[in-house]
Structure 1
Amino acid sequence: MPAAFHYEEIAMSQSTDTFRSAAPIRFAYWVPNVSGGLVISKIEQRTSWDLDYNRTLAQLAERNGFDYALSQIRFTAGYGAEYQHESVAFSHALLAATERLRVIAAVLPGPWHPAVLAKQIATIDHLTGGRIAVNIVSGWFKSEFTAIGEPWLEHDERYRRSEEFIRVLKGIWTRDDFTFLGDFYRFHSYSLKPKPLQRPHPEIFQGGSSRAARDMAARVSDWYFTNGNTVEGIKAQVDDIRAKAAQEGHTVKIGVNAFVIARDSEAEAQAVLAEIIDKADPEAVKAFGREVQQAGKASPEGEGNWAKSTFEDLVQYNDGFKTGLIGTPEQIAARILALKAVGVDLVLIGFLHFHEEVEYFGRRVLPLVREGEARGAAAAAA
């Protein structure tokens, strides 16, 4: 089991520290449109992948201060995910059930052609008042690609394809008579009408921790998602990406994955973490580890997502325990403010019991974050 997090070591003095961004930190949640919850464990998870549960969850999240929801993309079963709803259609359903929440649909270059996705997203953008976004997933699940007859490219080639995919999306959404001659996609005087409502285009997210992923973000993406990590580890990534982006004349915002266990006492939160790990499904976790670590270690520098994840880390799909948002509301708020101080713009959160924990987070944690931000802003102004 991971060592207890020492929140007192990272809690900031709000009277002296300034934040890198004056904008409030944003919050997103993982949409459970895939069965099995967000941990590979036999612990009870009061969550469901069905539409009614997710409509209610989206409305709860909207009322409790969440800005975004991220729908997952899976084509085949594995590691407890027996059933999966398709991400773009499911995102549209959640947008139809809400008024302000923005929903990010995860998509895979390969199964999707950029012209098809560009048209899907443009239509949904008009139907929902400009609240749809996309997350370009370069691919980690080799067995899924081979099961549906899609070629499995080498690590850096997957990111080259994703970069072309993003450049094509931007071109289709912002230009008429769009022409593009790439290694993976070719367009000849193509015009999409109507174009999306959002200007210049719907937001484009991507993930990854490898050199190729970070360099792609620095060139073309609006947002970069990284797996869970320590404050120090995230700071190194933020500094690296922002320096590269500046060289490219580009700006990119940073999101980090986290699994939140907020309880009235630290002991209670740590007990929940211990139970999740104690009840982990060893065979499923190891199988997931073999699948994702070949993807992470396949990067030339061996630093991709999951390259250094332990068994305990892998129990939560995207290293969410590493971020350390486990404890009392005060401890978690301090940790979030520390993340903001090193340049994080958004925290993407998974929960054990989504309905009640989204509400608890909005009622008990988020107000403390906003109070801390206000103190920091006042100190900066002074």
Structure 2
Amino acid sequence: MKPIAGAAGDVGHLELGMFGPNGTGHSMSKVPERWYPTWENNRDLALAAEAAGLDFHIPFARWKGHGGESNPQGAMLDPIVWAAGILAITKRIKVFTTVHTPFVHPIVMAKHLATMDHIGPGRVGVNIVSGWDREEFEMFGIPLREHDERYEYTKDWLDVMRTLWTADAPGHHRGRFFDLPGLIGEPKPRGKITLMNAGTSSAGRAFAVEHCDLLFNILVSPEACREEVATVKEAARRVGRSIDVYTTACIVCRPTRKEAEDYHDYYSREMADWPATDHLMQQLGMDCQSFSPEFYATFRNRFAAAHGHCSIVGDPGHVAEEIRRIRDTGVRGLTLGFIDFASEFSYFKDEVMPRLVDLRVRRPPG
């Protein structure tokens, strides 16, 4: 097996991190063991993830659940406060926050991020979200802009933050959406804030390529992901930039493949919250341009299982091999989701992560 150049200069090293433990997880399932986001279990998970050698932590940002019987993502710790807390208790792991640009003023967000970088210097990232959920916008009393205009707004929003982080004297920011005299902010971040965007529409992809360090891409299949990674990197090269790609997978790992498949069927079919699933798909189909209606019809069960993301289901050897296939697409990082982060990550750490070292997917710990 020929390893590829990976993260942080390590040949073959795939970054791994948690995704969404500040909420109830990815699934639209009614199973009672589904993760619930208390601060105590988030604290313990972050410390366990860092001790195991994981590279990053990324939160969800949701303001309203998806309804149904279980109301997935209805309970969620604020991603900005959460990130500051995780930074304060860890020493090495990179911690992202997630922000909806229409809901947080850029002057306020620039201060939040600069403060975070003083708590955890050089370990701060921000997942920049332009917004898509009409019901959340209605709850805030803010109009949902036309799709491509959302990214134009976000570009102006980001320019304000960058000015605050770099300007040594007050200036006047004059943009399409912000006209801000006397713009200045202290303290500055101590290091670079990593910028990530998850836009998969053409406008979202262009924004990420031109302005961000990372694109968060939905994994439909390793084959499709390989093509998308190559396309994204070529687009960045054409504008004189470089960008890396993260993707995500929900992990169902058990001692045998049958046990894993049986549990996956149980939580994503028998115990699926179909009203919540259909509500999520309807929301995305109405106000997000990432996928076609045919995609949603085909992948209804995939939404119930993992919010539309890929699931890796099997015994430890199979899970490790599937992660190797994902690494070989050229992605820099893989975010991990679990039904119950605590118990399932413990098994993943013990049984899968050593296999990833053996497969040269990750460097040895230490």
Establish whether TM, by shorter chain, passes 0.5: yes
Please name the residue that 1:43 is paired with.
Answer: 31
Would the alpha carbon gap of residues 246 and 263 (structure 1) be closer, same or farther in structure 2, given more than 3 Å must change? same
2:84 pairs with 1:92: yes
- Equivalent residues of 1:65, 1:362 under 8 A apart: no
- Equivalent residues of 2:245, 2:333 under 8 A apart: yes
- Mapped to 2, the partners of 1:28 and 1:334 lie a distance apart of 18
Dislocated runs of 4+, deviation >6 Å = none
- Equivalent residues of 2:156, 2:177 under 8 A apart: yes
Please name the residue that 1:116 is paired with.
Answer: 108
Q: Deviations over 1:340-363 (max 9, x none)?
A: 222111111110111121122222
How much does 1:32 deviate? 2.5
Would the alpha carbon gap of residues 27 and 374 (structure 1) be closer, same or farther in structure 2, given more than 3 Å must change? closer
Q: Deviations over 1:58-95 (max 9, x none)?
A: 11111122111111112223331332221101111122
SS of residue in 2 equivalent to 1:78: coil
- Mapped to 1, the partners of 2:361 and 2:108 lie a distance apart of 43
Q: From 213, 218, 224, give the equivalent of 1:222.
A: 213
Alignment of 1:1-382 (within 5 A): 14=1, 17-21=2-6, 22=11, 24-34=13-23, 36-79=24-67, 80=71, 81-177=73-169, 179-188=172-181, 190-198=183-191, 201-278=192-269, 279-297=271-289, 310-320=299-309, 322=310, 324-373=311-360
- Equivalent residues of 1:25, 1:346 under 8 A apart: yes
Would the alpha carbon gap of residues 296 and 374 (structure 1) be closer, same or farther in structure 2, given more than 3 Å must change? closer
- Equivalent residues of 1:266, 1:326 under 8 A apart: yes
How much does 1:307 deviate? 5.8
Q: More deviation in 91-100 or 53-62?
A: 91-100
Q: Deviations over 1:325-375 (max 9, x none)?
A: 221222122222222222111111110111121122222212222222279
* Long gaps (5+) in structure 2: none
Q: More deviation in 70-79 or 183-192?
A: 183-192
- Equivalent residues of 2:27, 2:268 under 8 A apart: no
How much does 1:20 deviate? 4.4
Would the alpha carbon gap of residues 276 and 228 (structure 1) be closer, same or farther in structure 2, given more than 3 Å must change? farther
How much does 1:230 deviate? 0.3
Please name the residue that 1:8 is paired with.
Answer: none
- Mapped to 1, the partners of 2:278 and 2:292 lie a distance apart of 19
How much does 1:287 deviate? 0.8
Would the alpha carbon gap of residues 261 and 142 (structure 1) be closer, same or farther in structure 2, given more than 3 Å must change? same
- Mapped to 1, the partners of 2:218 and 2:197 lie a distance apart of 11
- Mapped to 2, the partners of 1:171 and 1:40 lie a distance apart of 40
- Could you state the TM-score of these two structures normalised by the residue count of structure 2? 0.89
- Mapped to 2, the partners of 1:336 and 1:229 lie a distance apart of 14
- Mapped to 2, the partners of 1:303 and 1:211 lie a distance apart of 13
Q: More deviation in 258-267 or 366-375?
A: 366-375
SS of residue in 2 equivalent to 1:332: helix
Q: More deviation in 174-183 or 58-67?
A: 174-183
How much does 1:295 deviate? 2.7
Please name the residue that 1:11 is paired with.
Answer: none
- Equivalent residues of 2:316, 2:351 under 8 A apart: yes
Would the alpha carbon gap of residues 248 and 187 (structure 1) be closer, same or farther in structure 2, given more than 3 Å must change? farther
- Could you state the TM-score of these two structures normalised by the residue count of structure 1? 0.86
- Equivalent residues of 1:20, 1:340 under 8 A apart: no
Q: More deviation in 98-107 or 23-32?
A: 23-32
Would the alpha carbon gap of residues 372 and 167 (structure 1) be closer, same or farther in structure 2, given more than 3 Å must change? farther
CA-atom RMSD in angstroms: 2.3
Q: Deviations over 1:148-183 (max 9, x none)?
A: 111101111112222332333333223334554322
- Mapped to 2, the partners of 1:171 and 1:230 lie a distance apart of 39
- Equivalent residues of 1:32, 1:54 under 8 A apart: yes
How much does 1:313 deviate? 1.6
Report the identity percentage.
Answer: 26
